[in-house]
């Protein structure tokens, strides 16, 4: 939490700290998922099962102060990230940004009058993938099965993906599984959370990360330049994603991917992803639910 509070004006930071003290039962520091700041509206701390509302109307000047702190007093230098809708900060936390978009030739070139900031609190859960590890590791061939992890939003698929990458990259000495060179396409900075070139999340010692690029383009770049044995990306679904995955798998690379969905019906509802399955490019499908 301290990594985030330093971006707020002192009065807002003190309000949040006081709110944390007033709600010991909620264990805010442990359970907070997001802190949402909106111009002229209350501050909201989102927990998994609870929203805590702080009745304080954030001013435009305070919003600009926070944005300038996020951009290290150089909004221009962060313009590319802002136009993507987020800024990654130290600690791997990601700050979503909304406001008035300035569009030129179909591309966002500027976001002005920023009206909302969403501090998404990054949390690693090391070891969370242990319950599915035996389904992913192909011990017979000393590699992994190309795996698709499916769940509705907020059920932990990105957290699970990150931990799997870490383990596959590091290797598992207990079963004589040698670590694999992994390539991660972190399109929105949610997996490795790279800050100034350094992943803030532990994605393993043999992992190369490319960010701020489409999954399709990123996969091609990694295969051509880094020679990964395993490639991973989050939330596949478009035709371009699937074509890039086929390109990767045809190159002898294994893959770990995620997508939104609750069940097999949802997966089959995406024609392009369904094609990957029917042609046996995907070897394992794992569904995640909050109840385990």
Paired with 254 in beta bridges are 230
The verdict on 34 and 171 lying in the same domain is no
Identify whether 91 is part of a domain: yes
Walking along the chain (292 residues) 10 residues at a time, the average pLDDT comes out as: 92 95 90 95 92 96 95 88 88 91 87 93 90 95 97 89 98 96 92 89 96 91 96 95 94 96 94 94 92 55
- Residue 291: predicted pLDDT: 60
Instruction: Give the span between the Cα atoms of 235 and 185, in whole angstroms.
Output: 11
- Residue 158: predicted pLDDT: 92
The verdict on 47 and 180 lying in the same domain is no
Q: Which are the contacts of 266, defined by CB distance < 8 A and separation ≥ 6?
A: 150, 260
Over residues 136-189, the pLDDT tens digits come to: 999 999 999 999 999 998 788 999 999 999 999 999 999 999 999 999 999 888
Instruction: Give the span between the Cα atoms of 209 and 189, in whole angstroms.
Output: 10
- Both tokens of 243, joined, read 């074509």
Is the CB of residue 132 less than 8 Å from the CB of residue 160?
yes
pTM attached to this predicted model = 0.81
- Residue 247: predicted pLDDT: 94
Q: Domain containing 45 — which CATH number?
A: 3.30.450
> How many DSSP H helices and E strands does the chain contain?
11, 16
The verdict on 273 and 213 lying in the same domain is yes
CA dist list (Å): 234 to 103, 149, 227, 240: 27, 9, 20, 14
The verdict on 170 and 279 lying in the same domain is yes
Considering 120, 138, 155, which residue would you say is the last residue of a domain?
120
Averaged pLDDT score across all residues of the chain:
93
The verdict on 107 and 154 lying in the same domain is no
- Residue 11: predicted pLDDT: 96
Instruction: Give the span between the Cα atoms of 292 and 80, in whole angstroms.
Output: 39
The verdict on 164 and 204 lying in the same domain is yes
Considering 120, 138, 156, which residue would you say is the last residue of a domain?
120
Domain that holds residue 78: 2-120
How many domains are contained in the chain?
Answer: 2
The verdict on 96 and 143 lying in the same domain is no
The verdict on 52 and 145 lying in the same domain is no
Identify whether 173 is part of a domain: yes
């Amino acid at each position: 939490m301290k990594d985030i509070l330093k971006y707020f004006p002192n009065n807002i930071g003190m309000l949040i700290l006081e709110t944390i003290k007033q709600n010991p039962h909620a264990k805010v520091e442990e359970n907070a998922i997001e802190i949402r700041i909106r111009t002229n509206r209350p501050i909201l701390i989102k927990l998994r099962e609870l929203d805590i509302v702080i009745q304080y109307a954030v001013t435009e000047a305070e919003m600009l102060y926070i944005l300038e702190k996020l951009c290290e007093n150089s909004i221009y230098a962060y313009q590319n990230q802002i136009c993507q809708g987020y800024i990654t900060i130290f600690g791997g936390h990601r700050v979503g940004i909304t406001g008035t978009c300035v569009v030129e030739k179909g591309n966002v070139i500027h976001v002005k009058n920023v009206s909302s900031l969403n501090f998404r609190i990054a949390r690693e859960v090391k070891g969370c993938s242990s319950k599915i590890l035996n389904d992913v590791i192909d011990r017979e061939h000393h590699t992994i099965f190309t795996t698709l992890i499916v769940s509705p939003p907020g059920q932990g698929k990105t957290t699970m993906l990150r931990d799997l990458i870490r383990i596959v990259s590091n290797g598992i000495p207990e079963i004589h599984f040698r670590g694999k060179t992994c390539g991660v396409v972190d399109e929105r900075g949610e997996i490795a959370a790279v800050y100034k070139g350094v992943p803030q999340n532990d994605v393993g010692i043999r992992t190369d990360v490319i960010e701020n690029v489409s999954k399709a383009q990123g996969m091609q770049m990694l295969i051509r330049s880094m020679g990964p044995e395993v490639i991973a990306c989050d939330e596949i679904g478009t035709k371009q994603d699937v074509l890039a995955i086929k390109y990767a798998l045809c190159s002898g690379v294994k893959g770990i991917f995620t997508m939104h969905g609750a069940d097999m019906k949802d997966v089959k509802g995406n024609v392009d992803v369904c094609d990957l399955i029917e042609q046996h490019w995907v070897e394992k499908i794992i569904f995640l639910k909050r109840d385990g």
